[in-house]
Amino acid sequence: MLSRKQKYFFLKFFSLFSIVRGYNVLVIIIAQYLTSVYILAPQLSLKEILFDVNLFMIVLASATAIASGYIINNFYDSDKDLINRPRKTMLDRLVSQRTKLTSYFVLNFLSVIFASYVSFKAVVFFSLYIFGIWFYSHKLKKYPFVGNFVAATLAVIPFFAVFIYYKNFDLVIFVHATFLFIIISMRELIKDLENLKGDLAQNYRTIPVVYGSKVSKVMLTFLCLLTLVPTYLLIVKYDIGYMDFFFYGSIFALIIFIIILWKSNKKLHYVLLHNILKFIIVAGVFSIALINLNRISL
């Protein structure tokens, strides 16, 4: 049996894990490596990529910067989250605001240290990225359109860190990035609909607050249709192996998404829609391996 002190320690650990969204960070780490292996550096052997210390440091710098971003976002949104996610917020509050800030600065420091192993340019890149996350959390997320655009941009920047490292400028990479950017933009807008009650209470000027739910649904429908452009290009114009099946599945999932969207009027519905988009993103990450199954061998 665990003592009361040990139970409290584990609760605080899970609280901190919840704050930094450890599962999201893990998915991003996997995505960066899969993108490197199957899209950005297919000419290199699997061993060369997996044992590349510079790439490992870029991935660590990305992971710590993203984790710190979740902390500062949680710090600024604590009052809003108490309304929107009371149970999760009560768990998160086991970690004091002082501990959150300390962890935030430590993680940012580690991110810069990891980047410094690669190059001074990497230090500048991640320093700007860290500043961008803070500025978004502190100011920009309260404004319609700008907040959504910046949030989606910040979400794809870790992949550009790897992209810049390998200096691969193939157009197919930008098409993949466009698809991801649109899906993440949809997820940000769905989150605004999901958090409408708390945003209203805390005077966040999000798209649903300023323009209403109907305009938000029209925008989401437009974005769904917009995903067809990169999807068509990736299926028809480029050789992406068996990853075709992922994009066909995405089209089917987005049709269901639109049907549910226009029938939605409760937070539970928006949570379901949010989960559909999260599933598309996570499935997309692991589907990257379908581009070339022969790469599994060393």
Domain boundaries, the chain: 1-169, 179-298
Is 91 a residue whose pLDDT tops 60? Answer: yes
CATH architecture of 1-169: Orthogonal Bundle (1.10)
Query: What pLDDT, in 10s, does the model give residues 213-242?
Result: 999 999 999 999 999 999 999 999 998 999
210 and 148 in contact (C-beta within 8 Å)? no
Closest of 22, 114, 138, 124 to residue 62, by C-alpha: 114
pLDDT at 52: 95
Q: How far apart are CA 242 and CA 265, in angstroms?
A: 37
- Report the pLDDT value the prediction gives residue 298, as an integer from 0 to 100: 45
Whether 25 shows a pLDDT value over 90: the answer reads yes
Lowest mean pLDDT among 23-32, 104-113, 195-204: 195-204
Instruction: For residue 265, give the DSSP letter.
Output: -
80 has a pLDDT exceeding 90: no
Residue 169 has pLDDT above 90, yes or no: no
pTM of the complete model beyond 0.85: yes
pLDDT tops 60 at residue 297 = no
- Read off the pLDDT band of 187 (50, 70, 90): very high
Question: Can you say whether residue 136 is alpha, beta or left, with left for phi > 0 and alpha for psi between -120 and 50 degrees?
Answer: alpha
Least-confidence region, from 53-67, 79-93, 199-213, 250-264: 79-93
Contacts of residue 235, defined as CB under 8 A and 6 or more positions apart, other chains included, come to 244, 247, 248
